[in-house]
Amino acid sequence: MQVIPVIDLKDGVVVHARQGKRDRYRPIHTDLCPSADISEVIGAYLNLFDFQIFYLADLNALEQQGDHRDLVHRVAERFPKPTFWLDSGLLTRPPQDNQPPNIKTVLGSESLRDDNVSLLETYAQDFILSLDSVGTKRLGAESLFTTPRYWPNDIIIMTLERVGSGSGPDLETLAAFCRKHPGKNFIAAGGIRNLEDLQALKKIGIRQALVASALHSGAIGRAEFAAL
């Protein structure tokens, strides 16, 4: 089981995501990292464990209110060893040729519509897909949830109502995806509380999980990584 720390960026700082209610997100201040500066947060994560991947959500870009591209590029250059999965929606500015090589694109269903989902074909499978939902409501392009031909190998199942909620992962939904599409790598996101949740995910075939709150609270720490 690989834990992937989550960093949510809003207005230049790292914020605490809760249940997808982005207007309520506030800068983080936790025992793990009292600072909301992105470099400080990454440093705190790396002091906890040698993470190989970080997930970055550019909330301004997702809301079409500017973006953090320059900041993310500086951070990726400062920390060249990890890979940064960047979710910033459909690009509002053309990609830069000098983008650091350790940035990989995440494209979420919330940023797509059924009439433009074919744009995914231009990425030639070189991206990570995020299937986003709140409760039973699927966000964005409905066809993405039922059309595997658009899917790359790595697919995040993002249950936004569970993010920061401490309610546990959506094991039923994740297990259903694993059973129906055994050739894909599904990644859990939302509600993961502790080592027991990670072990439960592993049992149903999940090998990667996005985690934030449990790392900041200490519920998943050095002892838990040793147990994994």
pLDDT at 219: 95
- Our count of domains for the chain comes to 1
The contacts of residue 183 (CB under 8 Å, 6+ apart) are none
pLDDT at 165: 63
The boundaries of the domain holding residue 68 are 2-227
Closest-CA residue to 170 (of 144, 134, 141): 134
CATH number, domain with residue 77: 3.20.20.70
Written as six digits, the tokens of 39 are 């470099």
Low-confidence stretches of the chain (pLDDT < 50) are 92-94
pLDDT at 79: 98
For residue 225, how many other CB atoms are within 10 A of its CB? 16
pLDDT at 84: 98
3-class secondary structure per residue, the chain = CEEEEEEEEECCEEEECCCCCHHHCEECCCCCCCCCCHHHHHHHHHHHCCCCEEEEEEHHHHCCCCCCHHHHHHHHHHCCCCEEEEECCCCCCCCCCCCCCCEEEEEEHHHCCCCCHHHHHHHCCCCEEEEEEECCEECCCHHHHCCHHHCCCEEEEEEHHHCCCCCCCCHHHHHHHHHHCCCCEEEEECCCCCHHHHHHHHHCCCCEEEECHHHHHCCCCHHHHHHC
How do residues 56-94 score in pLDDT, each as one tens digit? Answer: 999 999 888 999 999 999 999 999 999 999 999 875 444
